[in-house]
């Protein structure tokens, strides 16, 4: 692959690159996208149902957070490991294992009669997600050759990822209100069975025969480091950043991840070859995706707080108001490949971060009046549309230029960025909102203090996205320009 192709995330037109999907590829895409939508919805499907679940199974207020933390820990901690295992031992086998585990865990969760069993089911769902998401993505990237077809497939994948996050809250609220919170778990079972059958029928096995030994020291240190990182972040989200345990966990994470880096430098069979981690497209593509996803989850939290604490809306109404703009995520993802083909994935990634920054900045105008709902819908519509382009362009950027035998690693890294972003965005912005609200409570009314805190959180969100756009353009877009100029010469 040429320098231009690597930096732009596109290939020059060639007769060898197919422009149309075969029937087999279309069927494979339908199966994989169905799985990705289900897995994305699982991130948010229980959000609206948490209070109801707590009352039903006797969760204390302190222990209720383990329904989300129990899922987030393994989902982020094990994703890089299982992405690489998929490369070494067969992507379809690993993907099937994850789907079977997800179906079993969802069944147990739906039938749970105690808080302990339900948390165990959520942990198992998190492990299933860590197994399934990177293997599904690597099956997708190896099913479609790098170029227009892969961009189209990743565009649809990004659309359904974003749509799944939005639909999860809507679906969870509807199922809980119409039937029972248990259906937020049980609905996964028939869908998982359909995905299982479809995978066996239409998706061929793919594996690398180059290396069969697993880098155990690397696996232990990176998994331990990621688990410590996520646990530290979630502890901060629930107990505050002043809690000493937060920094003990974050310090342990730093030590383990540094150890992982040096282990990979010396390992004859590295879990994550350092040459891959050092690639500009891998590093900064994942950074752009991290920024977009972290701030999208944070803005969803901020608008939820606004609509419930300031406007007094119910949880279900809030879910509908936030979920409706999510439709534009699906629209954006489906048309994103056209812009990628014109200006390249790195440029689209930087531009999408700017769009999100501007869209979310509209929320600085929020007040306690009736126009607030209109502002929320407008801001989220623009921001989520840009977010869809980010999802597609960061995945294209971060997986481009790597051979098929390393696609599990590449998609494991993109999934890891996604999981950590989901975990980190809310606690950090929540800390900003809480600090500003507390500072204003002495001089302002309770409503005005909350609004002031929300404005501070939105400002941090918008500034971080704009700074991230500049960083992505400097390290990816500038390289693209230089590569293009070199090609012209």
Q: Sign of torsion, CA 397 403 408 409?
A: negative
Biggest CA pair distance of the chain? 70
pTM: 0.75
Q: What is the mean pLDDT of residues 154-175?
A: 71
Per-residue pLDDT at 485: 34
Please, what is the Cα angle at 262 between 260 and 268, to 5 degrees? 95
pLDDT score of 432 more than 90: no
Q: What digits encode the pLDDT tens for the residues 49-84? A: 666 777 788 776 556 667 777 887 888 778 878 877
* Cβ-contact 419, 75 below 8 angstroms: yes
* Cβ-contact 49, 64 below 8 angstroms: no
Per-residue pLDDT at 461: 93
Ramachandran region, residue 370 (left: φ > 0; alpha: ψ -120 to 50; beta: rest) = alpha
Per-residue pLDDT at 471: 93
Percent of the chain's residues with pLDDT above 70: 84
The CA distances from residue 35 to 82, 122, 129, 289, in Å, are: 17, 18, 10, 21
Residue showing tokens 């530290």? 232
For residue 303, name the pLDDT band (cuts at 50, 70, 90). Answer: confident
Q: What is the mean pLDDT of residues 158-167?
A: 69
pLDDT score of 110 more than 80: yes
Burial 311-343 (b: 16+ CB within 10 A, else e): bebebbebbebbbebbbbbbebbbebbebbbeb
Per-residue pLDDT at 206: 55
Q: How many CB atoms lie within 10 A of CB 58?
A: 10
Q: What is the mean pLDDT of residues 203-213?
A: 60
Q: How many CB atoms lie within 10 A of CB 9?
A: 33
For residue 467, name the pLDDT band (cuts at 50, 70, 90). Answer: very high
Helix ranges (DSSP H) in 306-370: 315-323, 327-343, 345-361
Q: What digits encode the pLDDT tens for the residues 371-426? A: 888 898 889 889 988 888 888 888 888 877 777 666 667 777 887 788 788 777 87
Q: What digits encode the pLDDT tens for the residues 286-299? A: 899 899 988 988 88
pLDDT score of 95 more than 70: yes
Per-residue pLDDT at 166: 67
The CA distances from residue 429 to 16, 125, 424, 432, 450, in Å, are: 48, 26, 9, 5, 13
């Amino acid at each position: 692959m040429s320098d231009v192709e690597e930096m732009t995330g596109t290939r020059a037109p060639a007769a060898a690159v197919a422009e149309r999907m075969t029937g087999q590829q279309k069927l494979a895409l339908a199966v994989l996208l169905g799985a990705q939508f289900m897995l994305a919805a699982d991130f948010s499907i229980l959000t609206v149902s948490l209070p109801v679940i707590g009352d039903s199974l006797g969760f204390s207020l302190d222990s209720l957070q383990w329904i989300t933390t129990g899922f987030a820990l393994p989902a982020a901690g094990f994703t890089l490991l299982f992405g690489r295992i998929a490369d070494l031992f067969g992507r379809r086998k690993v993907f099937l294992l994850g789907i079977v585990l997800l179906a079993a865990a969802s069944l147990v969760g739906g039938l749970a009669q105690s808080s302990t069993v339900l948390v165990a089911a959520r942990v198992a769902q998190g492990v299933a997600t860590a197994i399934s998401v990177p293997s599904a993505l690597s099956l997708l990237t190896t099913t479609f050759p790098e170029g227009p077809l892969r961009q189209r497939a990743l565009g649809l994948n990004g659309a359904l990822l974003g749509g799944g996050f939005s639909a999860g809250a809507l679906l969870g609220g509807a199922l809980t209100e119409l039937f029972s919170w248990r259906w937020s778990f049980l609905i996964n079972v028939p869908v998982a069975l359909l995905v299982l059958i479809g995978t066996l029928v239409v998706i061929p096995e793919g594996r690398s025969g180059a290396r069969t030994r697993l880098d155990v020291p690397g696996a232990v240190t990176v998994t331990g480091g990621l688990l410590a990182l996520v646990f530290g972040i979630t502890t901060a989200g629930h107990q505050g950043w002043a809690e000493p345990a937060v920094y003990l966990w974050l310090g342990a994470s730093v030590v383990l991840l540094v150890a992982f880096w040096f282990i990979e430098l010396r390992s004859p069979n590295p879990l994550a070859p350092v040459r891959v981690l050092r690639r500009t497209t891998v590093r900064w593509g994942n950074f752009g995706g991290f920024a977009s996803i972290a701030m999208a989850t944070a803005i969803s939290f901020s608008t939820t707080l606004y609509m419930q604490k300031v406007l007094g809306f119910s949880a279900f109404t809030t879910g509908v108001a936030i979920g409706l703009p999510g439709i534009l995520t699906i629209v954006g993802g489906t048309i994103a490949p056209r812009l990628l083909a014109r200006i390249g994935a790195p440029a689209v990634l930087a531009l999408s971060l700017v769009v999100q920054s501007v869209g979310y900045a509209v929320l600085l105008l929020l007040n306690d009046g009736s126009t607030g709902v209109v502002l929320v819908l407008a801001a989220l519509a623009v921001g989520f549309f840009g977010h869809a382009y980010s999802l597609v362009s960061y995945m294209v950027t971060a997986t481009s230029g790597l051979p098929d035998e390393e696609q599990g690693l590449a998609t494991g890294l993109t999934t890891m960025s996604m999981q950590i972003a989901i975990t980190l965005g809310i606690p950090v912005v929540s800390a900003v909102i809480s600090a500003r609200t507390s500072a204003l409570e002495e001089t302002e009314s309770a409503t005005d203090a909350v609004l002031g805190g929300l404005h501070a959180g939105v400002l941090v969100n918008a500034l971080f996205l704009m700074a991230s756009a500049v960083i992505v353009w400097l390290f990816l877009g500038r390289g693209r320009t230089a590569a293009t100029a070199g090609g012209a010469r």
